[in-house]
Amino acid sequence: MKRRLWFNLIGLAVVAVLLAACSLLSMGGDSSGDTAEEEDKGKPGVVIDAPPSGSTAAMDEDVFVQSTSTDTVGITRVDLLVDDTVVRSDVTPEEMPQTQFSVLQAWSATPGEHTLSVIAYRADGTASDPASVTITVSEEAAAADAVEAEGSSVCMAKASIQLAIRQGLGVDYPEIGYLELGEELAVSGKNADASWWQVDFNGNAGWISARYTYSSGGCDTVSVAQAPPLPAGDSQSGGSAASGGGAASSDSQMSDAVGGGGDNASMDAEYSPTPSTTPEGPSPTPTATYTPGGPTVTATYTYTPSPTATNTLPGPTATYTYTPTTVGPTVTYTPSYTPTTEPAPQQAPADANFNSPLNIPLDSTASVTDFVSYPGGDTQDKVRWDITGMNSNSALSGGRARLTIAASCFGQGIEYVEFFTGGQTYSCGQTLVDKEVTYDSRTGQVTITATGGSETYVQWVLTGTAVRTN
């Protein structure tokens, strides 16, 4: 009886040990699953689009750093560091996570060699590895033309992110366009607390949130402008300001920004540079046409007769020679002018808001072309580019590529043609894009504008090449 009790106790102990072991194994399995899920999220990624490493700048010049951050969970903040010190921190609109977020961050340059770094963060504080470039700042002040532009009386607003342009100062007003990251517009007015700028957009008054802009020029002298009334039927909720220049709430300002995302929301942005016209030569001189004519000239001869002489003396007889004198009228010619009209210069025909896209197959080259003219005709074209055939996984073959896009021009006035992309302006014959891209950053846009001249007519060509790097 005692032996049976002993075996029963041993059996119960074994069962208890097995149950405990199973419990530990179960806990261990759940923990490894959580770890795997966290590892799948990885870390955010960030690249610096501009300036390129090795660039130079002048002392006190504003250096604009453009970066693009990506993350499957979502970016909420981007920090700019100079020599490991944070000099600027920007959050996404309403601090809402965005899978792709592009931002322009400014730093006032100080002399010396510096390392500029950008770090992107999730809402939970997970940070990306820093993306860095080096820059050398000279001790000389910025160029005279830059100083003059900074002191200009015209107030300019540069977008730090992709920004909506609205009919009034508030998110309840309908959108009339977009201001692309890095684009500038002239400011014509503001609301009472200068939290919204009134800008000139394609000849119409629009409003943008000042929170997401960099201002330059005589912005202190900009007067308060009155916003138009809300269109009938629009919501009065949110932070929109009343007509008359009242302040909109900060929530409204943040909501008005266009998020980065992966849907290329900024592609409908309007690039509207201020045209500059340079007179070319003197005014045309009428062509003179000489028409011969006038009176018919008839010569008149006047003769002086020789006197009659009677020779009473012996000797030779005198012989007289008569020389006729021709006398004619003085002729005056009055020229007649027939002005000729110069033929009209060639003009580029109007086209759609966006031209044919530049679709570049991976490991290949493609091009697209069109015309711009000035002052008449089509003065602006827009082209979207895309690399086709890339792998969505950047770690696999074809997931990364080196993209280059170059601009060529032919015709009259090529010096007046500008190419705008990535927050920078380029000229004919320059390389517009030269960087490594992934599936998420394979797209973009170029705006081509004829800005001046009297008979500018130019055919532009964009040539893109994409070569895989893995």
Q: 160-184 b/e with 16+ CB inside 10 Å = b?
A: bbbbbbbbbbbbbbeebbbbbbbbb
* Structural domains of the chain ordered from first start: 45-139 (2.60.40.10), 151-229+242-268 (2.30.30.40), 358-468 (2.60.120)
35-39, 72-76, 103-107, 140-144: least confident range: 35-39
Residue closest to 180 by CA, chosen among 95, 78, 265:
265
Model pLDDT, residue 201: 83
* Number of residues in the chain: 470
Model pLDDT, residue 428: 95
Q: Is the dihedral of CA 409, 411, 414, 419 positive or negative?
A: negative
Query: Is the distance from CB of 87 to CB of 81 less than 8 angstroms?
Result: yes
Whole-angstrom Cα Rg for the chain:
40
Model pLDDT, residue 7: 47
Query: Which H/E stretch holds residue 121?
Result: strand 112-121
Query: Is the distance from CB of 134 to CB of 174 less than 8 angstroms?
Result: no
Average pLDDT over residues 150-159: 78
pLDDT at position 155 over 60: yes
Residue closest to 257 by CA, chosen among 194, 206, 199, 209:
209
Query: Is the distance from CB of 198 to CB of 187 less than 8 angstroms?
Result: yes
Q: pLDDT category, 64, cuts 50, 70, 90?
A: very high
Helix (H/G/I), strand (E/B), else coil: 142:
coil
> Could you tell me the CA-to-CA distances from 261 to 109, 218, 450 in Å, in that order?
30, 34, 31
Give the tokens for residue 172: 């309840």
* pLDDT cut 90: percent of the chain above it: 44
Average pLDDT over residues 72-87: 94
Residue closest to 209 by CA, chosen among 254, 178, 239:
254
Average pLDDT over residues 161-173: 87
Q: Give, as one character, the DSSP assignment of residue 59.
A: E
Average pLDDT over residues 408-413: 94
Average pLDDT over residues 418-428: 93
Give the tokens for residue 303: 């003769």
Q: What is the pTM of this model?
A: 0.46
Residue pointed to by tokens 């944070």 = 86
**Residues paired with residue 325 on neighbouring β-strands, in sequence order:** 302
pLDDT in tens, 96-112: 898 999 999 999 989 99
162-166, 186-190, 269-273, 404-408: least confident range: 269-273
Model pLDDT, residue 170: 82
pLDDT at position 431 over 70: yes
121-135, 161-175, 277-291, 332-346: least confident range: 277-291
Find out whether the peptide bond into 295 is cis, omega within 30 degrees of 0: no
Average pLDDT over residues 111-140: 93
